[in-house]
Chains A and B, each alone.
Chain A
Amino acid sequence: MKPRVGFFDFASCEGCQLTVLNLENELLDLVELMDIIEFREISSETGGELDIAFVEGSICRPEDVRRLRAIRRRSRLLIALGACADTAGINALVSDRPEAELVREVYGDDPELMPAAGHPRPLSAFVQVDGRVPGCPIDGQEFLAILQALLIGRQPELPGFAVCAECKLAELPCTFERGIVCLGPITRAGCSAHCVAEGDRCRGCRGMVDEPRSGPYYRILEEHGLDLDAIREQLRTFNLAGEVKK
Chain B
Amino acid sequence: MKIAVNHLARIEGHANLVIDSARGQVRELRLEIVEAPRFFEPMLKGCHYSEVAPIAARICGICSNSHTLVSLEASERALGIEVSEQTRQLRRLLAFGEILQSHLVQLYFMALPDYYGVASILPLVHSERALVHHALELKRLANDILRVIGGRPVHPVTPVVGGFTRLPDAAELMDLRRRLVLVLPDLEATVEIFAGLDYPDFEREVTALSLLGDGDYPVFGDTLVTSGGRGAAVADFRDLVEEYQVPWSTAKFARMDGRDYMVGPLARLRNNHDRLSAMARQVAEALDVGPATANPYRILPARLVEVVHGVERSIHLIDDLLLAGLQEEELPAPDRFGAAVAVIEAPRGLLFHAYDYGDDGRIRAADCIIPTAQNLASIEADLRLRVPQVLDLGREDLTRQCEQLIRAYDPCISCSTHLLRVDFD
Name A's B-contacting residues (CB within 8 A). 10-19, 21-22, 24-25, 27-28, 31, 36, 39-46, 58, 60-61, 63-64, 89-91, 93-94, 97, 102-103, 105-108, 110, 112-113, 115, 117, 120, 136-137, 194-195, 198-200, 203, 233, 237
Report the bound CA distance from A25 to B139 in whole Å: 11
Q: Do B157 and A21 touch (CB < 8 A)? A: no
Report the bound CA distance from A39 to B59 in whole Å: 20
Q: Which of the 9-residue segments B68-76, B158-166, B224-232 touches chain A? A: B158-166
* B12 nearest CB neighbor, chain A only: A14
0/1 interface trace, chain B 16-56, chain A, CB 8 Å (1 if under): 00000000000000000011111101110000100100110
- Give A62 Cβ to nearest chain B Cβ, in Å: 11
Q: Do A44 and B42 touch (CB < 8 A)? A: no
- Interface assignment of B119: CB less than 8 Å from any CB of chain A: yes
* B129 nearest CB neighbor, chain A only: A28
Q: Do A19 and B125 touch (CB < 8 A)? A: no
Q: Do A137 and B154 touch (CB < 8 A)? A: yes
Residues of B within 8 A of A13 (CB): 58-62, 64, 414, 418
Residues of B within 8 A of A39 (CB): 120
Q: Do A42 and B42 touch (CB < 8 A)? A: no
- Give B243 Cβ to nearest chain A Cβ, in Å: 11
Q: Do B414 and A12 touch (CB < 8 A)? A: yes
When A and B form their complex, which 6 residue pairs have the shortest distance between CB atoms, in order from nearest?
A: A15-B61, A199-B165, A43-B120, A44-B9, A199-B166, A13-B61
- Interface assignment of B110: CB less than 8 Å from any CB of chain A: yes
Name B's A-contacting residues (CB within 8 A). 7, 9-13, 34-39, 41-43, 48, 51, 54-55, 58-62, 64, 105, 109-110, 113, 119-122, 125, 132, 136, 139-140, 143, 151-155, 157-158, 160, 164-166, 245-247, 250, 403, 414, 418, 420-422
Q: Do B136 and A24 touch (CB < 8 A)? A: yes
Residues of B within 8 A of A110 (CB): 245
Report the bound CA distance from A91 to B194 in whole Å: 39
Residues of A within 8 A of B421 (CB): 106
Residues of A within 8 A of B246 (CB): 113
Q: Do A21 and B105 touch (CB < 8 A)? A: yes
The contact of A61 among B11, B36, B54, by CB within 8 Å, is B36
Contacts A19-B154, A237-B51 aside, 4 further interface pairs with beta carbons under 8 A come to A14-B62, A41-B109, A117-B36, A200-B151
Residues of A within 8 A of B51 (CB): 237
Report the bound CA distance from A21 to B51 in whole Å: 28
Q: Do A137 and B42 touch (CB < 8 A)? A: no
Report the bound CA distance from A36 to B109 in whole Å: 14
Residues of B within 8 A of A45 (CB): 9, 119-120
Residues of B within 8 A of A24 (CB): 136, 139-140, 143
Q: Do A107 and B59 touch (CB < 8 A)? A: no
Report the bound CA distance from A108 to B420 in whole Å: 11
Report the bound CA distance from A91 to B39 in whole Å: 8
Known contacts A27-B136, A43-B9: does B59 contact A198 (CB below 8 Å)? no
Q: Do B140 and A106 touch (CB < 8 A)? A: no
Q: Do B36 and A64 touch (CB < 8 A)? A: yes
Q: Do A22 and B153 touch (CB < 8 A)? A: yes
Q: Do B36 and A60 touch (CB < 8 A)? A: yes
Known contacts A43-B9, A44-B113: does B62 contact A18 (CB below 8 Å)? yes
Residues of A within 8 A of B55 (CB): 90, 93, 237
Residues of A within 8 A of B48 (CB): 233
Q: Do A93 and B151 touch (CB < 8 A)? A: no
Q: Do A40 and B9 touch (CB < 8 A)? A: yes
Q: Do A106 and B120 touch (CB < 8 A)? A: no
Q: Do B10 and A42 touch (CB < 8 A)? A: yes
Q: Do B35 and A11 touch (CB < 8 A)? A: yes
Q: Do B7 and A28 touch (CB < 8 A)? A: no
Residues of A within 8 A of B122 (CB): 31, 36, 42-43
- Give B132 Cβ to nearest chain A Cβ, in Å: 8
15 contacts between A and B (CB under 8 A): A11-B38, A12-B414, A13-B64, A15-B58, A25-B140, A42-B122, A44-B9, A102-B39, A105-B42, A110-B245, A120-B36, A120-B38, A200-B160, A200-B165, A237-B55
Residues of B within 8 A of A233 (CB): 48
* A199 nearest CB neighbor, chain B only: B165
Report the bound CA distance from A160 to B215 in whole Å: 54
Known contacts A14-B13, A105-B42, A199-B166: does B120 contact A42 (CB below 8 Å)? yes
* B136 nearest CB neighbor, chain A only: A24
- Give B129 Cβ to nearest chain A Cβ, in Å: 10
Report the bound CA distance from A15 to B414 in whole Å: 10
Q: Do A22 and B42 touch (CB < 8 A)? A: no
Q: Do B157 and A195 touch (CB < 8 A)? A: yes
Residues of B within 8 A of A61 (CB): 36
Q: Do A14 and B61 touch (CB < 8 A)? A: yes
Report the bound CA distance from A37 to B154 in whole Å: 24
Report the bound CA distance from A136 to B247 in whole Å: 32
Q: Do B43 and A106 touch (CB < 8 A)? A: no
Q: Do A137 and B120 touch (CB < 8 A)? A: no
- Give A183 Cβ to nearest chain B Cβ, in Å: 13
